[in-house]
Amino acid sequence: MSLLNFGFSKRPRLDNEQQNDTSEKVHYTNDIQNLLYEIQQQTENKTVEPARKPGRPKRKAEDLEESIESPSSSSSSSSLPRSKSGRYVQWPKDLVDAAVDSVHKHGGDICSTIRFLKLNFPNQYDCLADSTLRGWCKKREDQVLEDNSRVHGPNTIVKGGLLETIKDVVLAQCNSGVEQNYTMLKPVVKAVINESSEYNILEENGGRFVISNSWLDSLLKGLNLSIRRGTTAAQKLPIDWENQLDTHLMRLSHLVREYNVPKSLVINLDQTGCHLVPCRGRTWAAKGSKEVPIIGLDDKRQITLVPSVALDGSVLPVQVIFQGKTERCLPAKSIRDLYSDWNFTYSENHWSNLGSMKLFINEVVRPYITKTVDNMGLSPNQKSVLILDCWKVHKSREFLEFMKESHPDILLLFVPAGCTGKIQLLDVAIQKPLKNAIRDGFTSWLQGQASNQLKDNVAPSKLKFDLRMSVLKPLLSGWIKKGVDHLTKEMVHNGMKKIGLDQCWSKEFQLKSRGVYESGKLWPNQESSFFVPEESEVDPTTTGTRDFEGIDN
């Protein structure tokens, strides 16, 4: 189905003797219906062309004459805009639609589509530029979005009274002052549908309707709402991060070979902030709003999670850090007893610090290593490796001395500063599914709250949710448990392959790392112990080094 108006595209300049005809309008003479059918058939049976350098091949003026009508046949047409650079072409609507459809059939690849059209239909598309085709595709997308917003969603199954009820609920939530995003709105809308007489339209109830992000976007834009958000500078990778990755892998490979360390005794841990209520400092509000107040915008209700995994896929118990000064800030003892292997602790700002790190090593890492060594029948002096990022507490002399004195069998290996997003296993493969599962637990609870209120005959526009810390804290451990249970050995193994950690146990790579070590280039000051990294090993001025008493959100 066509959604486009005619587009205008510049045509290459002709020879001097033909430039006096530049005001003439150009039309194509081929039978459009046969052409469209031929394009469709050849697109479906297309073969992949070898890649070639981008650019439009030069054409002779006599070749261009064959693809256009003579000026006399179009003398009745109105004149088109002219440019000093050449002649304009008014593309027939059917040719535009056929070209855009061909882009979709080529998987959105503009360059491949251009080559296909010029090769198979030179008389119609030989002067088509890639910028022109991109413009047509953009117009098609804009038109589709406009049509979707006009009907308040790409799926018109939701209509009539149910749609009006959903609109009232969404407007009420957006005007409540609580930050609204997909995580907050989806469970509320789902609860409204489930409690209506049209509950069977949902896919989970046997229907075919899914509350997607695009559907919510169209609904919100149809209500004249727009998203308000802030921007922050993204962390930049060091220029030589790939070289640093190779060095990091060779260091681990050398330690594995030197001390015969199995995968089950190579552990990676990382701290991550977790919001009790998912929020990003943005919400849906009326378009053009200059004041967008959000309840609790300055309320940093977070906890810190410290997950850790071994490279054989084992998931260690998690440490959960709450904000407070006494044990009263922790969940009730009855809840903590349900997760007796976890480490619940607190700090004044919920951030991990030297004390919480010592606690984590003593109560989580050490018991796991002891149990694993016993189960594998290894020596009590068996070495293990703990992979850490370059956070200032990890590098502090106090922490290093604590590890050397209390846990001399644990070797520390630091991920290069600023490279955790590419090199650290937890950042690459674990943190996102863990947080997603925790968020899903929150959305399920929120949907249940909405359903309960609707069953109690609360008007949809009057729905309110109690998001106090005292209400959420008892539920949080269950959501975290769901997230931890969601982690699998397959996730760990896939992350290892993505980084390249699995090759650290190959003999070929170990021999390579041994050679680099013997050349004196694997560590600075190699005559010192493996255990305590030299200050020159980690430059605290490197981009991405955490130089604050906290964690990244």
pLDDT tens profile 93-132: 888 988 888 888 887 888 888 888 888 888 888 888 888 9
> Is the full-model pTM beyond 0.75?
no
- What would be the CATH architecture of the domain defined by 242-290+297-537? 2-Layer Sandwich (3.30)
Q: What percent of the chain has pLDDT over 90?
A: 29
Beta bridge partners of 413: 387
Beta bridge partners of 295: 178
Q: What is the pLDDT of residues 165-203, one digit of tens each?
A: 988 888 888 877 677 788 888 888 998 898 888 888 888
Q: Pick the residue with more confidence: 149 or 27?
A: 149
Query: Which of 230-234, 312-316, 539-543 comes out lowest in average pLDDT?
Result: 539-543
* Alpha helix stretches (DSSP H) within 263-406: 333-338, 354-360, 366-376, 392-395, 397-406
* Alpha carbon separation from 19 to 12, 124, 126, 339, 358 (Å, rounded): 11, 21, 19, 83, 82
Task: Write out pLDDT tens, residues 359-412.
Answer: 999 999 999 999 999 999 999 999 999 999 988 899 999 999 999 999 999 999
CA 363 – CA 359 distance, rounded (Å)? 6
Encode pLDDT of 377-386 as tens digits. Answer: 999 999 999 9
pLDDT of residue 14: 43
* pLDDT band for position 212 (cuts 50, 70, 90): confident
Whether the predicted pLDDT of 495 surpasses 50? yes
- Which residues make beta-bridge pairs with 284? 227
Report DSSP state, residue 49. P
Pairing verdict, β 283-286 and 88-90: unpaired
Q: Which of 328, 321, 326, 279 minimizes the C-alpha distance to 300?
A: 279
CA distance 105 to 100: 9
Alpha helices (runs of H) in 106-240, residue ranges in sequence order: 110-120, 122-125, 130-150, 160-174, 182-194, 213-222
